Structure 1
Amino acid sequence: MISIQSPVSVTTVSTKAVPEHIVEYPQQRYHVAQPVAPGTFITLKTAANNSSESEAKVPLLFQPFQVKDLTLPNRIVVAPMCMDSSEDGFTSDFHLVSIGAFSLHGAGLVIMEAAAVTEFGRITPGDIGLYRDEHVSGLQRIVDFVHAQGGKIGIQLAHAGRKASHKADHTNHPKEDFWPENVVAPTGGLLWDHNHHTPRELTVAEIQELVKAFGQAAARAASAGMDTVEIHGAHGYLIHSFLSPVTNHRTDQYGGSLENRARFLLEVIREVRANFPAEKPILLRVSATDYVEHLGEPSWEIEQTVQIAKWVKEAGVDVFHVSSGGNTAQQKIKAFPGYQVPFAEQVKSRVPGLHVVAVGLINEGVQAEEVLQHEKADLVAVGRGFLRDPSLTLQFARQLGLVAKHAAQYGSVQNS
């Protein structure tokens, strides 16, 4: 294992000469930058390592990763990002092109945007959905393309809760496309902000129906050939709003204690697990904190996140994707490169056996490798970075001393 210490820099390598060896790697997607022994690459330099051409194994970021029967070709995850480009929950050519671009350029796992488990669970009228059997064929087309590139794909299962029926900035849906009277939450009357609708409180019977809806959506994802599903429990959407005392003021079995507030999530996990192939992993995305400590009131924080991580592992979650915030407009976030990684690190160190994804302004290959080398997480997710550059995986490879091999249709890239 490579030992990486700060400050970190990357060995400068020439890409003019045609490489003579290919790293032993799934699909042989990455070349070493100059002739060295097979299975090695030009290592990172640190303050404690002044050699310019020392050798080491392929960086962890570009080593395969296996969870259950799913083997990822590398440890780079495209985080789910809503595109608001759907009509009635159906995917479009835009989704094929956008998702396809990530896999075409070598991303190990692409997680598609939040797919609503009910029609009224969409964030906006432009969200994709998994609330109808007819949604499956469009998703399967995307899955087949990603698989043809050697990549893996999953999809988020979500309900927007009190953030539903919202207008996306770049769309112009007519008034009748929205559903303000059907916006729901664990506790009624709590607006996210003045641009959102006032939610009504869910009944216990409605909660149980939503649990079933998550399971039905998972079954449809399986029919589409998805390699994994990710339950969306972050960013102030329905599951998160049940977990946090900021937004859950219920006094029944779904409110009050942490055990009660986590009940809905745990029921959803068990239902999803029962409706998704046992050999395929389930991910859960959470917000580790509400960022409202300044209010001096009970809120959702990392200690509670660690506790539910233990519970969800027992309930059937294989991979824990750690984000933060989004539950209230009163949050105060100081964002900087890697700002959410310490949350992932805490879960990783305190919940043995649970695989963890780190995310949050991870902008460079060396930065991503450092997260893995220091065992802060098992996988690294990037969102907006892939929107800026769909070939970000290839850029990370170059930054770590590898010359990335593009898809065969693109020809040689040795002089690029």
Structure 2
Amino acid sequence: MPAANDSTTASEVNEKDTRVQFPQEGYFIEQPIAPGSYLGPINASLPDADKVPLLFQPFKVKDLTIANRVVVAPMCMFSSLDGFFTDYHLVHLGSFATLGAGLILAEATAVLPEGRISPSDTGLWRDEQIAGLKRIANFVHKQGSKLGIQLAHAGRKASVKAYYADLPESAYWKDNVVAPSGGAEFQWDDKHHVPRELSVEEIHRTIKAFGAAAVRAAKAGVDTVEIHAAHGYLIHQFLSPVSNNRTDQYGGSLENRARFLLEIVREVRANFPPSKPVFLRVSATDYVEHLDGPSWEIEQTVQIAKWVKEAGVDVFHVSSGGNTAKQEVKYAPGYQVPFAERVKQAVPGLDVVAVGVITGGKQANEVLEEEKADLVAVGRGFLRHPNFVMNAAEELNVKVKYSQQYERGRM
């Protein structure tokens, strides 16, 4: 891989340059009102028809305003080549914008090449990767939606089989899979590689890589970045005593295990425009109460929520699990919402995103109306029903703005 080049200026990756590379973008149409914006009730004769459901009320954090409170959760598509965003990503993420999602969070994007989950993951470790993301941001913005990107490092869950692609062994880096603690004891399962322990120097390099990726994201024009500290990837591995038995300043006490996260938060915040919010996604629990010894659970999650708020996080996105193959998860509609509610109650002033088998408009709106969260995120639900927002609107008796190109398809 060519070395990262930090010399590119924002003016060198602007909309004009992107249109030279992709001239068809000149045909994109500005949306005066964002798809998914509330226009009124479908049937004004129904009870409470004049009440705007919270799900379809705008949401503002810092200078970011989104048309509604539906977030497309980051979902890995394993459709990248050498870390670059492709036409697939433009169509995949752009479709959610045409169909009314307020905020779209692009998939876990590696800050270092060895931080990818698979060789088919997207990346922002090189300046050359900015233009593809800028192209997507341009399209999403012209539809009226907002775009964020999740910055990530997979740690011990890196270099796994690339989905949808039969790649040669040379595409993988099984001898350079890293983690807070190394050795066979810390192998995630037999389908993952045995990790080696990161040195303190490598930890500092990784922290700087998150900051450099935030700079590139800003040059691409995204509206927010989300730091990925969930699902058993590197930051989560540092947080949990299940995966971290270091004895230096990055292990042991909760303060030490959280040091890596907090230093990344400060680095990203210092390298991303102050007018734009920083999101953080966490796993609230490891789901291993049946194991001997300490694990990661909600009380510690609440504590780090307080710390990251002070360090510069604006929005706290609460998921769960993923850090060990021994987890025991009971999936059910809204099963992760209580974790979000706990954080929201415990940390006033910190906006919270709830996620986890949210399947429809009424359920999503109840989460908001009951003050369990400020935003709701939907992942697989958007894969099953890309028009999730339009379906939710119909369910809630809401007339919403369609994309101009789709308006004549309204019932």
* TM-score over 0.5 for the pair: yes
Letter in 1 for 2:92: S
State the match for 1:96 in structure 2: 90
Considering only CA atoms, is the larger Rg found in Structure 1 or Structure 2? Answer: 1
State the match for 2:131 in structure 1: 137
Q: CA deviation at 1:30?
A: 4.1
Are the structure 2 counterparts of residues 237 and 55 from structure 1 closer, same or farther at C-alpha, using a change threshold of 3 Å?
Answer: same
Percent identical: 66
Q: Secondary structure at the match of 2:114?
A: helix
Q: CA deviation at 1:54?
A: 3.6
Deviations 1:367-399 (A, max 9, x none): 000000000000000000111121111111111
Q: Secondary structure at the match of 2:228?
A: strand
State the match for 2:351 in structure 1: 355
Native 8 Å contact 1:405 1:413 kept in 2: no
State the match for 2:143 in structure 1: 149
Letter in 1 for 2:40: V
Distance in 1 (alpha carbons) for counterparts of 2:55 and 2:110: 31
State the match for 1:245 in structure 2: 241
Q: Secondary structure at the match of 2:149?
A: strand
Q: Are residues 1:32 and 2:26 paired?
A: no
Q: Are residues 1:254 and 2:262 paired?
A: no
Q: Are residues 1:124 and 2:118 paired?
A: yes
State the match for 1:321 in structure 2: 317
Distance in 1 (alpha carbons) for counterparts of 2:240 and 2:387: 37
Letter in 1 for 2:160: H
Q: 158, 172, 178: which one pairs with 1:184?
A: 178
Distance in 1 (alpha carbons) for counterparts of 2:359 and 2:154: 28
Are the structure 2 counterparts of residues 173 and 27 from structure 1 closer, same or farther at C-alpha, using a change threshold of 3 Å?
Answer: closer
Q: Are residues 1:165 and 2:173 paired?
A: no
For these two proteins, the number of residue pairs brought into alignment is 378
State the match for 1:330 in structure 2: 326
Distance in 1 (alpha carbons) for counterparts of 2:404 and 2:163: 38
With normalisation by structure 2, the TM-score equals: 0.90
Consecutive unaligned residues of structure 2, counting only runs of 5 or more, are 1-32
Are the structure 2 counterparts of residues 250 and 391 from structure 1 closer, same or farther at C-alpha, using a change threshold of 3 Å?
Answer: same
Distance in 2 (alpha carbons) for counterparts of 1:67 and 1:54: 28
Q: 283, 291, 295: which one pairs with 1:295?
A: 291
With normalisation by structure 1, the TM-score equals: 0.89
Q: CA deviation at 1:28?
A: 7.8
Q: Secondary structure at the match of 2:133?
A: helix
* Alpha-carbon RMSD: 1.5
Q: 193, 216, 235: which one pairs with 2:212?
A: 216
Q: Are residues 1:403 and 2:411 paired?
A: no
Letter in 1 for 2:404: A
Q: CA deviation at 1:26?
A: 5.5
Distance in 1 (alpha carbons) for counterparts of 2:101 and 2:248: 44
Distance in 1 (alpha carbons) for counterparts of 2:164 and 2:341: 36
Structure with the bigger percentage of helix? 2
Q: Are residues 1:374 and 2:382 paired?
A: no
Are the structure 2 counterparts of residues 34 and 304 from structure 1 closer, same or farther at C-alpha, using a change threshold of 3 Å?
Answer: closer
Q: CA deviation at 1:34?
A: 4.6
Are the structure 2 counterparts of residues 157 and 28 from structure 1 closer, same or farther at C-alpha, using a change threshold of 3 Å?
Answer: closer
Letter in 2 for 1:32: G
Consecutive unaligned residues of structure 1, counting only runs of 5 or more, are 1-24, 37-41, 43-51
Distance in 2 (alpha carbons) for counterparts of 1:34 and 1:328: 47
The worse-fitting range, judged by mean Cα deviation, of 164-173 and 207-216 is 164-173
Distance in 2 (alpha carbons) for counterparts of 1:254 and 1:28: 44
Deviations 1:95-135 (A, max 9, x none): 00000000110100000001100010000000000000000
Deviations 1:318-339 (A, max 9, x none): 0000000000000000000000
Distance in 2 (alpha carbons) for counterparts of 1:88 and 1:205: 25
Q: Secondary structure at the match of 2:161?
A: coil
